[in-house]
Structure 1
């Protein structure tokens, strides 16, 4: 038709990057081949930070569920990716097998997420994983020297976080050395502790000072909060909270909240609650539970209580509007809405106490690893397990 002509509109580069930073990782992965400029831009720290900020601002959370169907060495722990789309009721989209950990009795413990990255570990095996870009990195063995006369070494609690000063991701790990008896050397302690720190930038471990308090247990929630990692710990005569500053690489301690009971009667689990250190407290006995949430903001204050929820065992995490994921007494995943007190069974089961729920935002952060395909990680559609 006369009067019509082709028109090409050129958008400013800043506007293009702003639009792209709001897209999911899957789309950005495809768009890398559009032009070299886009490909290189997606790999910059500025773009990945902008992309993550947009996901956080819009509360675009993804969900992974770690679980197992039995309690023998042949029963493999795996991850299930759950749908977070409205109306899909957290259906399992796919199941993810990690062969690197399949011979580990206790399965990988998950630390994080930190900027969309997960740290997985079991005994001496440690790996970083970006489930969004599907990049997986097996960390090198530690080169930290052990004391002489060491008979065996065990690897304990681990923390994972981000050092904003150096733009580096770090892993801090506690090690226990056990000594063999040697009469010629005289009296030796049965064991001692070491602490080692891994830097992703340097791709190496180093030894750091051992704190006075010693951490214990495995985290149920994300214990990394704004540059610090937190553990429950024991001191000389009491229980406390141990923190590690990822930037300054030093430890400090905090008191537990005074919740009116003892740790013999109640579980206490640390967690990130809206960017503050939180602690959720609930009774060890019974299947009718009450949950108290305490928050540290200069001092501990009780944020709220959820009273008398029947048929549940333990909390698994909060969702977007304050709903609480719980493990039911029949070891199914349930969602509790405190406003309506509705308890919804989501139809997902696992062996007792093997479920761990991991909400995370998509991330473009590179970890200098290899693709899931190269590490033989298997993603299978739901229904294959």
Structure 2
């Protein structure tokens, strides 16, 4: 290969790219300067997919912790990159400050990951896509979808982020509620869909189903986004197909219908975990959808925890403790390890993702004034 020969390599191009596709993004970013063909190759869909699949196959997970500290007016949302190397006990390596979301209690949520991309959103109409591996950040444009002309104010709820594999497009869907000061008018419900490919929003029919306000516990999985929802017949799961852009509903196991539950990814399948609302020692039932709902297992009497935040590599579970600390529970040994991360109640999230070279047509973190620094 002419371009690669300039680097002094006699290896075939296919083998060189195979080797490079197994390297971390930080190394590939440096290697862009080696030669122009390498830089171009790193941006091709084939290489991006191969690199991402290698990370998935090797379970090369990264961990991002999100929390909030301070009072409701001047408090700050913060992010930590946690170490996933053996023996480092998930210590904080880097701290991020994202000024786009400002100060104060504003219910900032992390959605995803989707092919290494995260979606950050606030109910106040602020939405951004972020690739923490390539350090690319994109603030989504304001929606041009028309609201009822007599509406007095608008609120946003139930955001979902996913990938359309047919068009290679990343999409964000959210529910919009238009409110009226005149109480004789019921709130107007809409849904709108953002396409990264077109960089624009459009309205989507909702079929009369609305989501419940629990964004910490919704989930994207295998081309579908799933929400807690409510309809005429009670609680259910609402799903949205990112390819066909259609909604559908999924019933719950009878034991979950009137219980406290949330959705998560269990080995690539949709899981619903059931837990009691109260008690100092809680038990958790995991149900999995694989054609039909089946009860997978029960974790008995875990002391001092509020709710699970997600699974880790070997079946361990991250929990928010009753003292609002991040803890890791090992079901086999029943060890509960405090990881030393704290956040105000209901603001903690832990997101596991693999590195990705996917571009989001945004700007660099530096241009958006995002600050990374080593954790103290």
- Same-fold call, TM cutoff 0.5: yes
Structure 2: distance between partners of 1:294 and 1:118: 26
Counterpart position of 1:55 = 55
Q: Secondary structure at the match of 2:33?
A: coil
Structure 2 residue 97 is matched with structure 1 residue 115? no
Q: Name structure 2 gaps, 5 residues minimum.
A: 1-7
Give matches, 1:243-262, under 5 Å: 243-259=239-255, 262=258
Structure 1: distance between partners of 2:9 and 2:197: 41
Structure 1: distance between partners of 2:71 and 2:244: 41
RMSD over aligned Cα, in angstroms? 1.5
Whether the 8 Å CA contact 1:128–1:137 is kept in 2: the answer is: yes
Structure 2 residue 146 is matched with structure 1 residue 145? yes
Shift of 1:59: 0.4
Counterpart position of 1:172 = 173
Counterpart position of 2:190 = 194
The runs of at least 4 consecutive aligned structure 1 residues that moved more than 4 Å come to none
Q: Secondary structure at the match of 1:38?
A: helix
Shift of 1:347: 1.9
Shift of 1:217: 2.1
Shift of 1:345: 1.5
Structure 2: distance between partners of 1:17 and 1:367: 23
Q: Secondary structure at the match of 1:286?
A: coil
Can you list the C-alpha shifts for 1:91-112, whole angstroms capped at 9, x where unaligned? 0111111100023532421111
The TM-score normalised by the length of structure 2 is 0.94
The TM-score normalised by the length of structure 1 is 0.92
Shift of 1:291: 1.1
Shift of 1:9: 5.3
Whether the 8 Å CA contact 2:161–2:225 is kept in 1: the answer is: yes
Counterpart position of 1:30 = 30
Whether the 8 Å CA contact 1:77–1:107 is kept in 2: the answer is: no
Structure 2: distance between partners of 1:168 and 1:246: 9
Whether the 8 Å CA contact 1:113–1:222 is kept in 2: the answer is: no
Can you list the C-alpha shifts for 1:68-112, whole angstroms capped at 9, x where unaligned? 223422110111110000110000111111100023532421111
Counterpart position of 1:3 = none
Aligned length: 368
Equivalent in 305, 323, 329 of residue 322 of structure 2 = 329
Counterpart position of 1:99 = 99
Choose 210-219 or 272-281, whichever is displaced more.
210-219
Structure 2 residue 344 is matched with structure 1 residue 381? no
Q: Name structure 1 gaps, 5 residues minimum.
A: 1-7, 182-186
Equivalent in 349, 363, 373 of residue 370 of structure 1 = 363
For the pair shown, which has the larger CA radius of gyration, 1 or 2?
Answer: 1
Choose 325-334 or 129-138, whichever is displaced more.
325-334
Counterpart position of 1:216 = 212
